[in-house]
Amino acid sequence: MVYAIIRSGGKQQRVQVGDRFDVELIHGEIGNRLEIDQVLAVGEGAELQIGAPFVGGAKVVCEIILQDRHRKIMVGKYHKRKRYYRRRGHRQSFTRLRVDAIQAEGIQAAAPPKQETTSEEAA
C-alpha cells in the first residue's frame, strides 16, 4: 500500500489513502479539498522516493471532514509561600482530514469512487 510522509503544522504524519488524521487548524469549510505539497517521502518498499527536504511534484489530496476543538486541559501555576495560584483551561483547535489521493512521479494512488445509492437500492 502506497504511503506518504507529510508535514503540516510543524508535525509529520504517515498517511495512506483513506486515512483520517488531525492537524493543527487549517481555515476552510467542511467538504473543501486541500492539497498538501510538503511531502517528505512517498511510495512503498523499493519504490520509496525520499525528498531533500521535499519530493518534487508530489502532493497529497485531502478533504476537510471536521473543524473542532480538543477537550479542555487545565494548566496551573503555583508558587509556594507566596499565596500565588493561577489555573487556566486551554482547548486546542484542530482540523480532521481524509486522504483521497497520493500523487507523485510514477505514483497514482486514489480512493475508489464513492457509489451513490438510489432509494430503490436502499430499500
Report pTM.
Answer: 0.80
| pLDDT for the residue numbered 92 | 96
Domain ranges of the chain: 3-111
| pLDDT for the residue numbered 45 | 86
Q: What is the mean pLDDT of residues 9-36?
A: 94
Q: How confident is the model at residue 112 (pLDDT cuts 50, 70, 90)?
A: confident
Cell of 94: 484542530
Of 50, 53, 65, 47, nearest to 2 by C-alpha is 47
Percent of the chain with pLDDT over 70: 92
Separation of alpha carbons 80 and 49, rounded Å: 55
